[in-house]
Structures are given as C-alpha cells and as structure tokens.
Amino acid sequence: MSDELDSYRGELRKWLVAHTPRHWREKLQASSEEEVVDFYQRWTRQLHSGGLLVAHWPQEFGGRGLGFQGQVVTQQELSRADAPRPRPLAISLGHAAATLMEHGTPDQQKLIEEILDGAIFCQGFSEPEAGSDLASLRTRAERRGDGYVINGQKTWSSFGRYARWCLLLARTDLAAPKHRGISFFLVDMDSPGITVRPIRQPTGSSEFCEIFFDDVFVPESMRVGAEGEGWKIAQTTLVTERAVQMLELTETMRRSVSQLVEDSKHLPGPGGGPLADDAGFRSDLAGVGIQVEVLAALTERSLAAAAATGQLGPASSVLKVFFSELLQNFTRIATEASGMSEMGDTGEPREVGFLSGQHFVDHLRSWTWTIAAGTNEIQRNIIAERVLGLPREAQ
C-alpha cells in the first residue's frame, strides 16, 4: 500500500499544480452565492474526473480503495497546494456517502453517483428546541400507505437552499424512548410541502437555512434502515473525518499565522513603529504559533490511533474544543492587528473557509465552531466522562 500511496501522492500533487484555480479565494469573494456554489460543484466534478476526489472510497463506489491513509494524503496535498475544498458538498461526501455505503439499499446507493456529480445533501437533524439534545426532536413521520407524511421544522441546515436531498431524522414512534423512536429518511428537496428559508448571519451571508415540512410525502423506499434505527444510523460517518479535517485546518492556520507575521511588518504598532516590533503582539502571536503545533501533534496522534483501530472516539471532542478556541484567539488577534479598516462593510462576504483572510468576518464566523457538531459545553462533558473517566453529571 505504501508504494500505491506514494504513487497517488505524486499524481495528485502534479495534478493540483496544473489545475488549482489561481486566486480562487479573491474571485469567490467577489461572486454571488449561487456562483460560489456552482464553482464548488464544478471543482468537485473536475477532481472526480481526475480520479482524485474520493480515492479513499471502495472501488465499487467510485474510489480507489486507498482507505483512511488515502484520505490523509488527499488532505495533505490539498493543503500543500492551497486548493479549494468542496465545502458545500461536505455533507454529501462525508455523512451522506458513508450512510449510503453502510446502510443504504442498492437503489438508495445509486444516489452516490449524484454526489460524485456535485449533488448537495443537507442535514435535517437540529430543530429550534432540539440542538445539543438532538434526541428530543419533534418532527413527525406518520405512516401513510406505502410511505410517510412528514411534518415539522429543521434549522441550521448548511446550504439547504441549494440541496438536492436532505438527510432527515423524524419521530415515527411517540411511545418509544426518545432515542429509539426516530427513523432516518432521504428526502427529495423538490417534494411538495417543503419550504426553505435562509438565515442571514452576522457576516452577511446566508449559508444556514430553516426547512419546514408540511405534509411532505416520502416513499417507504427512501427510509434508510428499519423504523426506530434512525439514531444509530445518524451516528454513521467516516470515523476519522474530524481528525482528517484538522489536517486541513492546521495547515491553513499555519499559513494564516505566517501571513500575519509578514503583514505585521507593515502594520502600524502602538509605539509608532511597525507592529512586528511590539512585544505584546509578538508574545500573543508566538502563543498562537505554539498552539498550532500542539494541535498538529494532537491531530497526528489521533490519526495514528484511528489508522490502528478504525475508531477515533471521544478524542475527537478534544480536537474540536481545542481548535475552536484557537480559531477564536487567532482571529481576534488578527482583527485587532489590522485596525478599524478591517471592520468595514465589505458587502456580502462569501463562505470560502474559516480562515479566509478577512479577519473580522473570520472572527465572527469562528463562534460557530463552539456551537456546531455539539456545543463546547457538551464536548467538555464527553471529555470529562469518556476520556478522563470522571463521574457522570447528576441528573
């Protein structure tokens, strides 16, 4: 496998040199949201046409069978080339694909071809009163003939208004314990009765959406797994996904810190000289640099454990909390360093990553990392109970 991985790395590196769009961040920041989504979909198809999008997937699903180590190589080389990641397709290429591969019927697995062609999936998981306590969701799926009728509301669905399909959790058994009365559905977003409302964020963008389901019919053939298995199926994802994502984020953070070091040579400092000469700023930035290397070490250790065991487990909570706080700290320092001009209205910032170089916008967006995928408070409970072995919180 080592020779095969080395060959793949060389092929990918050469391809990215030839095909990575130049100045893609700057171009996206001047584009409409629709143009941004279209760019990522075209880039997804381009990567796939080169055989480089999902090399880690099994061959029967369009990959090369390189497994977890192939996924690591892909992220390393994308980071090295500073190439775009297909952000609007994160759910499609991650959770949706993994769920379909493991739990989908042969007909449902045909949707994987749509994913490779750029189809966007969104998640219909969180609700206004069921975020961190997701199992308390109240969206209903009532049996009706050869299918189900869905009624309810979902929120924080990333790229929901561009989605072709929705991964939906809905309650099918009101009498069952809350974790056991939930079923998993694939919902066609063109179905009658679906209303999507974008949620405008402080950054000016509208990546997140609310989705309303009013008597939406879903065929039984689009239920994934048996009734009541939705909670278990929803846990399906690529077990290393968070750690692999940290590879990308660590490299991006390294580049961002290095860029701020260069910028500080030309930014005014409090004493009248360049900011790079200010001891307080140098100390703050050095602290961030050290934390980036700690994150890199934690990520490397987590990846090694995942490669050996196939499981990442609660260690992913450590990575999530550490990175979220590091991101907030760095973007705060960068915003303060850049001065008032950084806080001007740039129009409608586009979603081009959490470290886009627009420091004030990045700082605003950094707070989403403390909430998404389980709040940091929830993650600290997981770390306390499952990593440190502390007693469970009294109920």
Tell me the per-residue pLDDT of 141-190, one tens digit each, with 9 for 90 and over.
Answer: 999 999 999 999 999 898 999 999 999 999 999 999 888 999 999 999 99
- Residue 94 gets which letter from DSSP? I
Same domain, 36 and 172: no
| Residue in 207, 227, 241, 351 annotated catalytic | 241
Is 108 part of a structural domain of the chain? no
- Tens of pLDDT along 5-38? 999 999 999 999 999 999 898 888 788 888 989 9
Give me the residues paired with residue 212 across strands.
153, 195
The residue among 72 and 190 whose pLDDT is bigger is 190
Where is the domain boundary, 85, 110, 143? 85
Same domain, 383 and 274: yes
Is 103 part of a structural domain of the chain? no
Helix, strand or coil for residue 107? helix
Distances (CA, A) of 284 to 105, 211, 288, 326, 360: 53, 42, 7, 12, 17
From CA 169, how far away is CA 154, in angstroms rounded?
9
Residue of 381, 265, 264 lying closest to 318 (CA atoms): 381
Is 327 part of a structural domain of the chain? yes
Same domain, 158 and 37: no
Same domain, 251 and 217: no
- Tens of pLDDT along 29-63? 788 888 989 999 999 999 999 999 999 999 999 99
| Residue 314, pLDDT score | 73
pTM above the 0.75 mark? yes
Average pLDDT, rounded, for the chain: 88
Where is the domain boundary, 85, 103, 130? 85
Q: What is the DSSP string of 170-203?
A: EES-SSS-TTTSEEEEEEETTSTTEEEEE---TT
Would you report the helix, strand and coil content of the chain in percent, each value rounded to 5?
Answer: 55, 15, 35
Where is the domain boundary, 209, 230, 251? 230
Q: Which of 73-77, 129-133, 332-336, 379-383 has the largest mean confidence?
A: 332-336
Residue 241 a catalytic site member = yes
From CA 265, how far away is CA 275, in angstroms rounded?
6
> Structural domain of residue 17, as residue ranges?
2-85
Spell out the residues 6+ positions from residue 201 whose beta carbon is closer than 8 angstroms to its own: 207, 208, 364, 365
- Tens of pLDDT along 180-223? 999 999 999 999 999 999 988 777 777 789 999 999 999 999 99
Is 112 part of a structural domain of the chain? no
Same domain, 28 and 157: no
Is 105 part of a structural domain of the chain? no
Number of folded domains that form the chain:
3
Same domain, 246 and 333: yes
Helix, strand or coil for residue 57? coil
- Residue 238 pLDDT greater than 50, yes or no: no
From CA 302, how far away is CA 318, in angstroms rounded?
10
